[in-house]
Amino acid sequence: MTDYALAVDLGGTKVEAAIVDPTGSVLPGSRHRRPSGQAATSDDLARSVTEAVQDAVGALVDATRHDRVVGIGIGSAGPLVGSDGRVSPLNLPAWRGYPLGDLVASLVPDVPVVTRIDGIAITLAETWVGAAQGEHNVMGMVVSTGVGGGLLLDGRTHGGPSGNAGHIGHVQVAGHDDQCACGARGCLEAVASGPRTVAWARRNGWAGDSGEQLAESARGGDPIARAAIERSATAVGQAIASTSALLDLDVVAIGGGFSHVADDYIDIVARTVAGHSDFGFVTSTRVVASGLSGEGPLIGAAALIHHREQVG
Amino acid sequence: MTDYALAVDLGGTKVEAAIVDPTGSVLPGSRHRRPSGQAATSDDLARSVTEAVQDAVGALVDATRHDRVVGIGIGSAGPLVGSDGRVSPLNLPAWRGYPLGDLVASLVPDVPVVTRIDGIAITLAETWVGAAQGEHNVMGMVVSTGVGGGLLLDGRTHGGPSGNAGHIGHVQVAGHDDQCACGARGCLEAVASGPRTVAWARRNGWAGDSGEQLAESARGGDPIARAAIERSATAVGQAIASTSALLDLDVVAIGGGFSHVADDYIDIVARTVAGHSDFGFVTSTRVVASGLSGEGPLIGAAALIHHREQVG
């Protein structure tokens, strides 16, 4: 008999659920997706979660009658409200303090439910099946429409009392003063996200309007597109250096769509960190590309169950 | 019989030792000091440590023949080399990877020795007898010639694999680009330390040359002196906000000579954090003045023994 985890990943545009085995593999046919989104009502969101979960669990019953779900791991877009399963995702305004953990528990009774911010799930996935296997002081990061992350410190995740630790996107970057959506200025996300990098290039005379076009222009030798990409990667490196000054990280694994904007994006980040200062405990922090596939967030949510000894 | 800790605090200009009881009180007559300093040889430093420790322990034997030392706690200026007692204090060039823990252990055999960076000792002292009693997610900070700190996360100290976590002075601050002694730019220490704040005021036309004079000028209504102080406190608040975005801190306790440069210095820091962004988990971080006396670093070193369950 195999002990499976039910994994749920709640994001700003979709919710996914899947069954994940103790080796970190998604059970074939068990991954299901439903829409979420800014415009969704609370009922819409609850229905999407319910259907995705029921479809995922249905696949398990069909496929492997003698197996069982031993726990439910939920990775959610932030902010959270503590670590008891209540969520207030910034881009899902219908849910504020919504008891997502209780909803999913009602669908699959009598097993433990562990809810954490999605950055923590990604970080656990990197240490389990990704680019930070065996490491104990890790930040998993995503550079995409936003910039987010999660922390594993001394072998355990750190969510903090509100569950929201790991917001690397809202660490300030020296030499910048861009207005951030959070209300502050000079946050990494306001400098280095995909949309902000595209906007910077446009302000400096580049004519496109997407990350894909920016990547193409840079490959074609456009100096402004290239400068925009270097500006983003350098800022990411600066924020990682600040984080390592505080936390003495061993490795940072970076994924997310915009991290693929140039073949050497991760290299620029790594060089920025390696050359940042005279402090060896900062510059020795390794920066690597994420080792996760698109299943990473679900595998990470499952790690909340399969590797609960790492969950702080 | 009382279980005492031997506390040792190694700094850039002096080393101190004392005997501390389980309530966090320094045994009268047991606090002893010897010089350290940039010019000291390794033998000079070892002699100073040895004499301070022997004098401290001597006071215990004289005063309370039936008591005993149950452990040795050492707080050291950084960087450290791991957590096994080797130290490389930036301002004591004669010691690089020096086994300070082993030296002290040889003077008081057969008891455990715990060595951590001084910022961690201060943070433990704040939670034990200072301004953060009973708190679990804390940063203790010093704003002085440098800017330093230490972290307590989820009730345990976080030193990181090299022992050097907590370097808040080398977190970058948005909107600044000052060259830092560490080699990077825009670090909090390069913007907000006492000497850097005095230097900024001088560059802007103020005529004095010490923190004390800056305090006096600001009290007398000098607008440049006042602006310099506000610039320092605001930068400290910005770096605390970045730290809380990452770590979701509950409280930050600030001490150090320069934090007394104006009666409202801590208030300016606190207002900066409270108004930083729309993220409640950042802006709810409380900023308070240190609750420690000059004995704080020694009490914190003793906490490494008396509260070893908090030492990560």
- pLDDT class of A82 with cuts at 50, 70, 90: confident
Find chain B residues with C-beta within 8 A of A238's C-beta: 172
Q: For chains A and B, what is the number of CB pairs under 8 angstroms?
A: 166
What average pLDDT does range A28-38 have in this prediction? 96
From A19's Cα to the closest Cα of chain B, the distance in A is 31
Query: From CA A89, how far away is CA A86, in angstroms rounded?
Result: 10
Task: Report CB contact under 8 Å: A160, B247.
Answer: yes
From B106's Cα to the closest Cα of chain A, the distance in A is 29
Scan for tokens 């009602």, then name that residue: A106
Residue B246 lies in a domain: yes
Task: Report CB contact under 8 Å: A182, B278.
Answer: yes
What average pLDDT does range B170-175 have in this prediction? 98
Task: Report CB contact under 8 Å: A170, B279.
Answer: yes
Residues A27 and A99 in one domain: yes
Residues B86 and B227 in one domain: no
Residue B86 lies in a domain: yes
Residue A107's φ and ψ, nearest 5 degrees, are: -85, -30
- pLDDT class of B133 with cuts at 50, 70, 90: very high
Taking each helix axis from N to C end, the angle separating B265-274 and B223-247, rounded to the nearest 10 degrees, works out to 50
User: Which of A242, A310, A311 is best to mutate for the B interface (most B CBs within 10 A)?
Assistant: A242
Task: Report CB contact under 8 Å: A171, B79.
Answer: no
Nearest chain A alpha carbon to B188: A174
Find chain B residues with C-beta within 8 A of A247's C-beta: 151, 158, 160, 165, 246-247
For residue B61, pLDDT over 80 is answered with no
- pLDDT class of B63 with cuts at 50, 70, 90: low
Find chain B residues with C-beta within 8 A of A151's C-beta: 246-247
Residues A68 and A196 in one domain: no
- pLDDT at site A90: 86
Residue B308 lies in a domain: no
Report the relative pairing of strands A68-76 and A113-117 from DSSP bridges: parallel
Find chain B residues with C-beta within 8 A of A159's C-beta: 248
Q: What is the mean pLDDT of chain A?
A: 96
Residues B66 and B162 in one domain: no
Residue A140 lies in a domain: yes
Considering only CB atoms, B243 lies closest to which of A151, A162, A246, namely A246
Residues A137 and A285 in one domain: yes
Residues A205 and A178 in one domain: yes
Find chain B residues with C-beta within 8 A of A161's C-beta: 136-137, 248, 250
3-state secondary structure of A85: coil
Where would I find the H helices in chain B? 42-63, 100-107, 118-129, 188-192, 194-203, 211-219, 223-247, 265-274, 280-283, 296-306
Task: Report CB contact under 8 Å: A245, B137.
Answer: no
Residues B199 and B75 in one domain: no
Report ipTM (2 d.p.).
Answer: 0.95
Closest CA to B38 of B13, B16, B9, B15: B13
- pLDDT at site A62: 56
Share of chain B above pLDDT 70, in %: 98
Amino acid present at A191: V
B25: tokens are: 């009180």
The CATH number that applies at residue B157 is: 3.30.420.40
Distance of CA B76 to the CA centre of its chain: 9
- pLDDT at site A279: 93
Residue A241 lies in a domain: yes
- For A49: left if phi > 0, alpha if psi spans -120 to 50, otherwise beta; the answer is alpha
pLDDT digits (tens, 9 = 90+) for A291-304: 999 999 999 999 99
A266: tokens are: 């991760």
Query: From CA B150, how far away is CA B304, in angstroms rounded?
Result: 13
DSSP letters spanning B125-185: HHHHHSTTTT-SSEEEEEESSSEEEEEEETTEE---TTS-TT-GGGSB-BT--PBPTTS-B
Query: From CA A248, how far away is CA A5, in angstroms rounded?
Result: 32
Find chain B residues with C-beta within 8 A of A250's C-beta: 161
Find chain B residues with C-beta within 8 A of A282's C-beta: 167, 170
Distance of CA A42 to the CA centre of its chain: 23
Task: Report CB contact under 8 Å: B277, A183.
Answer: yes
From B218's Cα to the closest Cα of chain A, the distance in A is 27
Find chain B residues with C-beta within 8 A of A162's C-beta: 248, 280-281
For residue A208, pLDDT over 60 is answered with yes
Residues A234 and A299 in one domain: no
For residue B251, pLDDT over 80 is answered with yes
Task: Report CB contact under 8 Å: B187, A167.
Answer: no
Whether residue A104 contacts residue A8, with contact meaning beta carbons closer than 8 Å, is answered with yes
User: Which of A80, A178, A247 is best to mutate for the B interface (most B CBs within 10 A)?
Assistant: A247
For residue B238, pLDDT over 90 is answered with yes
- Tell me how many domains chain B contains: 2
Residues B78 and B161 in one domain: no
Task: Report CB contact under 8 Å: B242, A137.
Answer: no
* Contact partners, residue A223, CB within 8 Å, separation at least 6: none
For residue B62, pLDDT over 70 is answered with no
What average pLDDT does range B89-116 have in this prediction? 95
- pLDDT at site A74: 98
- pLDDT at site A43: 98
Share of chain A above pLDDT 90, in %: 94
- pLDDT class of B2 with cuts at 50, 70, 90: confident
Considering only CB atoms, B170 lies closest to which of A245, A249, A312, namely A245
- pLDDT class of B82 with cuts at 50, 70, 90: confident
For residue A157, pLDDT over 80 is answered with yes
Query: From CA B255, how far away is CA B296, in angstroms rounded?
Result: 10
Find chain A residues with C-beta within 8 A of B86's C-beta: none
Report the relative pairing of strands B3-10 and A156-157 from DSSP bridges: unpaired
What average pLDDT does range A208-222 have in this prediction? 97
For residue B270, pLDDT over 70 is answered with yes
Out of B84, B117, B150, a domain closes at B117
Residues B259 and B211 in one domain: yes
Task: Report CB contact under 8 Å: B161, A137.
Answer: yes
- pLDDT class of B265 with cuts at 50, 70, 90: very high
Residues A248 and A268 in one domain: yes
What average pLDDT does range B168-172 have in this prediction? 97
Residue A102 lies in a domain: yes
Residue A127 lies in a domain: no
Closest CA to B244 of B276, B222, B210: B276
- pLDDT class of B97 with cuts at 50, 70, 90: very high
Considering only CB atoms, A242 lies closest to which of B242, B279, B280, namely B242
**Domain range for residue B77?**
3-117
pLDDT digits (tens, 9 = 90+) for A101-140: 999 999 999 999 999 999 999 999 999 999 999 999 999 9
Find chain A residues with C-beta within 8 A of B136's C-beta: 161
Residues A266 and A145 in one domain: yes
Task: Report CB contact under 8 Å: A171, B176.
Answer: no
Out of B117, B142, B164, a domain closes at B117
Considering only CB atoms, B246 lies closest to which of A79, A243, A277, namely A243
- pLDDT at site A64: 56
Nearest chain A alpha carbon to B281: A162
Query: From CA A71, how far away is CA A111, in angstroms rounded?
Result: 5
What average pLDDT does range B188-192 have in this prediction? 98
Find chain A residues with C-beta within 8 A of B164's C-beta: 248, 279, 281
- pLDDT at site A274: 98
Share of chain A above pLDDT 70, in %: 98
Task: Report CB contact under 8 Å: B160, A281.
Answer: yes
Query: From CA A300, how far away is CA A151, in angstroms rounded?
Result: 13
What average pLDDT does range B223-231 have in this prediction? 98
- pLDDT at site B202: 98
Closest CA to A248 of B62, B79, B229: B79
Amino acid present at A56: A
Out of B117, B151, B184, a domain closes at B117
Amino acid present at A110: D
Residue B296 lies in a domain: no
